[in-house]
Amino acid sequence: MGLIRFERKAETVGFFSPLAGMEYAEQTIETRWDPLTGATSTSSSELATKEEMFYGKTDWEHAEELARSSRDGCFFCPEKVLEATPKYPDEVVAGGRLRRGRALVFPNLFPLAAIHAVVTYPEKHSLRPSEFAPDLLEEGLGAAVEFAGRAERAYPATRHIEVCCNHMLPAGASMVHPHFQVFGGEGVPALVQKAWECSAAFTREHGVSYWRTLCEEEKAHGERFIGEQADCVWLAPYAPIGNREVMAVVPGAATVSALGAEQVAALARGLSQVLAWYEEVGLSAFNFTLYGGPIGDAAGGGAAAARAAGDPDHPVVLRVIARSAFKPDYRTDDYFLEKQLGSELIFETPEAIAATLRAGF
């Protein structure tokens, strides 16, 4: 038995069901606990049949019409982006905006943190998930990583930086035009803080990194391991925090700004494959968050053995989830279970997700 505990509990419920001709039928409900934080996810033996009712299938004609109707006047598009978006002081970014290939970085006009930048592709007013090609993602993620490093130097009180994405309206986007956000500052988000604290506690107790151990144990088990390249390990999380969740762990990188070019490229390749898979199953909206451990003076220490091995308590992790398909009158996929009870509803098991994706990696 390894250091990480993969806990689950199954319960059986029975009733006379109209789905079985009013015969007595039983269903199995399973609760899983995240091995690090204790967060729960819930699944049912019959719930997979309702996934389409919850998430639907994308109406691409509707999505394309919205893209056409929103093109004129879009201030992320090339005709307006340099006139209608803010600029940073030269001491943060020379010239005010950062470019990397097709990607452009500039301040969010309505920031929610001291560091809150937008990363967009001016020439790409709309993108399907499958159109986030590896080279395009590499430019966008690379621009975000470069900006994160500049932001850390410009704002020395920074404790955290994440790269986040809300793609399409069901995922929380306010614009059709695809973009990422670089988000950071002194006030650490609660779930990030909890992950840091739990990771550090594991290191203190066991003298090794939770995340390195997770990668090693999942590779040994095999059923949730997807693939690995350039020190980037792709897994289907044991207790997902969203629909069809996939995660990547970069055990040797402590913060987003510490990611190297090969690691960024590996993250881009893997993320591109996951997003294409979402489209294959009829989905279109998604969220991802790329985050690392504490920055600067906030970076405490776990066991010396783990640090000596080059493994931070909490390394860079990417988590991507699918959201409701975009169509007329799409429904939300968050309700009391997620928003008020702190659990997540899952339709397809992590083991099934990994088996589907593994061959492509």
**Residue ranges of domains in the chain:** 55-358
77, 125 in Cβ contact below 8 A? yes
The mean pLDDT of the chain is: 92
Q: Where does the pLDDT of residue 1 fall: very low under 50, low under 70, confident under 90, or very high at 90 and above?
A: low
140, exposed or middle or buried, with CB in 10 Å at 0-12, 13-18, 19+?
buried
State residue 303's pLDDT score: 39
- In this structure, the strands spanning 40-44 and 343-345 are parallel
- Tell me, what amino acid is at 342? G
What fold does the segment set 55-358 form as a domain?
Answer: HIT family, subunit A (3.30.428)
Q: For the beta carbon of residue 27, count every other beta carbon within 10 angstroms.
A: 14
SS3 105: strand
58, 283 in Cβ contact below 8 A? yes
State residue 227's pLDDT score: 97
Whether the per-residue pLDDT at 302 is higher than 80: the answer is no
Average pLDDT over residues 240-255: 96
Residue 119: strand pairing partners? 105, 180
Q: What tokens were used for 97?
A: 């905006």
- Tell me, what amino acid is at 160? H
State residue 304's pLDDT score: 42
Q: How far is CA 64 from CA 71, 126, 299, 342, in A?
A: 11, 8, 45, 35
pLDDT tens-digit profile of 183-225?
999 999 999 999 999 999 999 999 999 999 999 999 999 999 9
CA distance linking residue 18 with residue 13, whole number of Å: 15
Q: Where does the pLDDT of residue 319 fall: very low under 50, low under 70, confident under 90, or very high at 90 and above?
A: very high
Q: Is 214 left (phi over 0), alpha (psi -120 to 50) or beta?
A: alpha
State residue 310's pLDDT score: 62
Whether the per-residue pLDDT at 5 is higher than 60: the answer is yes
Degrees to nearest 5, angle at CA 124 with 101 and 332: 125
CA distance linking residue 219 with residue 187, whole number of Å: 35
Whether the per-residue pLDDT at 165 is higher than 70: the answer is yes
266, 252 in Cβ contact below 8 A? no
